[in-house]
Amino acid sequence: MVKVRGIDFEGNTDNSMGVEFYNLSHRFGFQNPNWPYFEDTKIERIHYMAKSGVLSQRITTTMHATTHIDAPAHVVQGTPFIDEVPLPHFFGTGIVVSLPKKKWEFITGDDLEKACGKVIRKGDVLIINTGWHKQYEDGDYFAYCPGFVKSAGEWMVEKGIKVVGHDTQANDHPLATAIGPQRNGPLLPHLAEEYKEWSGGNDWKDDFPEWEPVHNILFKNGIMGIENVGGDLDAVTGKRCTFAFFPWNWDRGDGCIVRLVAMTNPDQKYRIEPGEKF
């Protein structure tokens, strides 16, 4: 039994089901970290106890804040919106892989093959732990994250994964987004010289000639991405788990904040109901 603010709740990690639950989502709310060109999250109490005897809050937010999943229509015209994606796409088994990376380092197809090529299964949910969930704050996280390059997207298509989640800012390297020399950018033009120094003299326009290539590869092949994974990620790294991450049933939604949860069942005592009549 778990007690919260004086109320007893049945459940948590040592519950009667025997299922262990792990939160893999970052916090959402007042001053949650935001991508460079998004407005801040706004939360207003419309009703509160002293006024109305109830608590009701109004939220103004982009759906691409904190831990969230992109719909294909977010980037690729003519592809499904979030409410059009089949429900099984938001649930499944898979693995959490350790793939440590430093500032601006590339995540390649070869990296993924070395990390999990022998254990990944077709239809898996793949969650990647680069270590950057520990850097998730307002500041350098968004500009300096490592990120996927084209070969990583091509590897995921070849392996037939269902969904990829990662503890970085986007489904692409940050400099292949509007942060760098792409459409709607550069949002942070001072990074051009910094990248040249970091890379040994390369022009970022040469190294990142395409706009969000991994987003495009994944979405055109029915693979969605969960960005800004965090929470108890380290606790399940190196393990095979079951994952749930359902979005709102938002008509023509371009993405949605999700509560990404990993579940394990050590004793194998719990089973999903067969749907028999009662």
Cα 64 → chain centroid: 10
pLDDT for position 273:
87
For 31-53, what is the mean pLDDT? 94
Residue 269 pLDDT grade (very low, low, confident, very high; cuts 50, 70, 90):
confident
Rg (CA), the chain: 20
- Measure the CA–CA gap between 69 and 229, rounded to whole angstroms: 10
211 Cβ contact partners less than 8 Å away, ≥ 6 residues apart: 176, 177, 182, 183
Residue 10 pLDDT grade (very low, low, confident, very high; cuts 50, 70, 90):
low
Predicted confidence (pLDDT) per residue in 60-102, tens digit? 999 999 999 999 999 999 999 999 999 999 999 999 999 999 9
Predicted confidence (pLDDT) per residue in 133-160, tens digit? 999 999 999 999 999 999 999 999 999 9
List C-alpha distances in Å: 194 to 132, 187, 198. 20, 14, 6
pLDDT for position 160:
98
- Measure the CA–CA gap between 148 and 213, rounded to whole angstroms: 9
pLDDT for position 1:
58
pLDDT for position 22:
97
Q: Which of 108, 90, 87, 191 is nearest to 151 (CA)?
A: 108
For 249-267, what is the mean pLDDT? 96
Cβ–Cβ < 8 Å for 155, 218: no
pLDDT at 12 over 70: no
Domains recognised in the chain with CATH numbers = 18-264 (3.50.30.50)
